[in-house]
């Protein structure tokens, strides 16, 4: 025979158990499991109430009232715990997603233009401003373009001025960008205003002012009536835009492909530093490419880019420019 007191005791025990279980639960999912377990249709409270049928009609409302209070109690506990767990969850989420805008950024080193390339770009810009076109030629050349067409036949003593890297197939590494003069004139008719940057090769002993591979910028102008004063004015204007007003001097010199020829020095750190060779294009060169030397004259020049870099950036040793040492390169 089921007693009312037994049922009430069961209910109270259940209530106590529910309180403890709710207090220790740590996740919203487990809390929901508890709700179903206690208050669900097939839950513990329902099960106990299912036995109520055996009580007398007077007893049933009493148990019903107690059961309701307990249900509400459990529900209240569940609700409190739920908002509690939700608050914890939100706090954890906020913490994990916090963005500290005052944190220092991740450092990425920035790439830069190499000082030599920067200098070449600047020089080309100046000449483009003076109306010149940019052209290039191959670094591997043959004897014709590097020497012969430039009025330097095989037995010419001037070949000794440029110790050459010869290749086993008979070609050579160009010793100067002057070869581009010939290649350009072969394909174009005067008037010509062209500038050609590029790498050149010499079997030089490497020291503070000599490298086996270095850079030149070649200049060539061919037209009717060009004179030495045009050459001088062009070079002076270029050097002025490049360096500002450093003292310069034209010194008589010799190149097989120009007549007359000159070298230009810049005064730098109290010393005269040679930065370019130049001259009036030799009539033999014009003739070689089929121009009429009676009609056309021209002037040409070849600049040593590394020499320019040394003056502009106060570099004492050319080898630094190629060492790829970031401590050096980052200064530019």
List residues near ligand DAH by CB under 6 A. Answer: 176, 178, 218, 255, 258, 277-279, 300-302
Owner of token pair 């001025």: 161
Closer residue to ligand DAH (CB): 18 or 211: 211
The CB-of-146 to ligand DAH minimum distance in angstroms stands at: 10
What SS3 class is residue 14? Answer: helix
Closer to ligand DAH at the Cβ: 77 or 282? 282
Q: Is 38:19 a contact under the CB 8 Å cutoff?
A: no
Contact 222, 258 (CB under 8 A): no
- Of 43 and 302, CB closest to ligand DAH: 302
Is the sign of the CA dihedral 304, 307, 313, 316 positive or negative?
A: positive
- Please, which residue, 135 or 178, has the CB nearer to ligand DAH? 178
For ligand DAH, the closer of residues 67 and 211 by Cβ is 211
203 alpha carbon, distance to own chain's centre = 34
CB of 291 to ligand DAH, least distance (A): 16
CB atoms within 10 A of CB 222: 25
What minimum distance in Å lies between the beta carbon of 279 and ligand DAH?
5
35/176 with CB nearer ligand DAH: 176
77/179 with CB nearer ligand DAH: 179
- Closest approach of ligand DAH to the CB of residue 331, in Å: 28
Q: Contact 262/203 with Cβ under 8 angstroms?
A: no
User: For residues 63 and 301, which CB has a smaller minimum distance to ligand DAH in the complex?
Assistant: 301
Min. distance of Cβ 327 from ligand DAH in angstroms? 31
Least Å distance, CB 268 to ligand DAH, is: 19
Q: How far is C-alpha 311 from the chain's CA centre?
A: 27
Determine contact, residues 297/225, Cβ cutoff 8 Å. yes
Whole-angstrom distance, CA of residue 41 vs CA of residue 21: 19
CB of 176 to ligand DAH, least distance (A): 3
Structure tokens, 47 = 């099960």
Pairing assessment for the beta strands 271-281 and 258-268 based on DSSP bridges: antiparallel
Contact yes or no for 302/87 (Cβ under 8 A)? no
Distance CA(74)–CA(18), nearest Å, equals 7
Which residues 6+ apart lie within 8 Å of 75 measured at CB? 39
Distance CA 190, CA 207 (A): 40
Q: How far is the CB of 157 from ligand DAH (least distance, A)?
A: 15
Phi and psi angles of residue 34, each rounded to the nearest 5 degrees, phi first: -65, -45
């Amino acid at each position: 025979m089921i007693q009312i007191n037994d049922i009430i005791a069961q209910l109270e025990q259940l209530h106590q158990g529910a309180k403890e279980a709710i207090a220790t639960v740590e996740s919203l999912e487990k809390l929901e499991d508890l709700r179903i377990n206690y208050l669900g249709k097939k839950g513990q409270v329902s099960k106990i109430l299912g036995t109520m049928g055996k009580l007398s009609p007077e007893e049933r409302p009493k148990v019903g009232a107690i059961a309701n209070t307990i249900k509400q109690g459990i529900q209240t506990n569940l609700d409190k715990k739920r908002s509690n767990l939700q608050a914890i969850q939100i706090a954890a989420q906020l913490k994990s997603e916090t963005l500290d805008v005052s944190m220092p950024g991740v450092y990425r080193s920035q790439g830069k233009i190499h000082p030599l390339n920067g200098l070449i770009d600047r020089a080309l810009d100046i000449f483009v401003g003076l109306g010149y076109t940019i052209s290039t030629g191959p670094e591997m050349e043959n004897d014709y373009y590097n020497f012969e067409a430039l009025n330097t036949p095989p037995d010419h003593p001037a070949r000794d001025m440029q110790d050459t890297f010869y290749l086993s197939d008979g070609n050579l590494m160009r010793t100067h960008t002057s070869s581009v003069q010939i290649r350009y004139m072969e394909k174009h008719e005067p008037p010509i205003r062209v500038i050609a940057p590029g790498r050149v090769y010499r079997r030089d002993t490497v020291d503070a002012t000599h490298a086996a591979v270095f850079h030149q910028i070649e200049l060539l102008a061919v037209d009717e009536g060009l004179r030495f004063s045009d050459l001088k004015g062009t070079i002076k204007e270029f050097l002025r835009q490049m360096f500002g007003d450093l003292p310069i001097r034209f010194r008589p010199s010799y190149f097989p492909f120009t007549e007359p020829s000159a070298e230009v020095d810049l005064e730098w750190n109290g010393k005269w530093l040679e930065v370019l060779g130049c001259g009036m294009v030799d009539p033999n060169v014009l003739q070689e490419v089929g121009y009429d030397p009676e009609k056309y004259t021209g002037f040409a020049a070849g600049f040593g880019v590394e020499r320019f870099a040394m003056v502009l950036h106060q570099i004492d040793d050319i080898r630094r420019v190629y060492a790829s040492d970031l401590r050096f390169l980052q200064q530019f």
